[in-house]
Structure 1
Amino acid sequence: MKTALVELISKISASVMSEDEVARIADEAVQAYADPEAFLAANPDINYDDSFPIPLGEWIVVGSLPDTALFQADTYGELFAQIVASFGPGVVFNLKPKQLAKTENLTALSRIQIQMSALSPEDGGYTLLNFSQLLDDEIQTVLVYGKDLPRVLELCAEVGIKAEPSLEALRIALHV
Structure 2
Amino acid sequence: MQAQLEELIGKISSGCMLAEDIVRIAAEAAQAYADPQAFLAANPDINYDDSFPIPLGEWVVVGSLPDTVLFQADSYEQLFQQIVDSFGPQVSFVLKPKQLAKTEALKALNRIQVQLASLSPETGGYVLVDFSEALDDELQAVLVYRSDLARVLELAVEVGIYAAPAYEAMQAAHPPSK
**TM superposition score category, shorter chain reference:** over 0.9
The alignment-based identity, stated in percent, is: 68
Instruction: Give the length in aligned residue pairs.
Output: 176
1:54 shift after superposition: 0.3
Aligned mates of 1:83, 1:134 — CA distance in 2: 17
User: 1:76-104 CA deviation, whole Å, 9 max, x = no partner?
Assistant: 00000000000000000000000000110
AA partner of residue 89 (structure 2): P
Instruction: Name the structure 1 match of 2:57.
Output: 57
Instruction: Name the structure 2 match of 1:86.
Output: 86
Instruction: Name the structure 2 match of 1:72.
Output: 72
Which secondary structure does the structure 2 equivalent of 1:133 belong to? Answer: coil
Moved more, 77-86 or 11-20: 11-20
Instruction: Name the structure 2 match of 1:166.
Output: 166
Instruction: Name the structure 1 match of 2:142.
Output: 142
Gaps of 5+ in 2: none
TM-score (norm 2): 0.98
TM-score (norm 1): 0.99
Is residue 2:123 matched to residue 1:129? Answer: no
1:134 shift after superposition: 1.5
Aligned mates of 2:3, 2:73 — CA distance in 1: 30
Instruction: Name the structure 1 match of 2:34.
Output: 34
AA partner of residue 165 (structure 1): P
Is residue 2:92 matched to residue 1:95? Answer: no
Runs of 4+ in 1 over 3 A off after TM superposition: none
RMSD over aligned Cα atoms: 0.6
AA partner of residue 137 (structure 1): D
Aligned mates of 2:36, 2:81 — CA distance in 1: 35
Aligned mates of 1:14, 1:165 — CA distance in 2: 16
Gaps of 5+ in 1: none
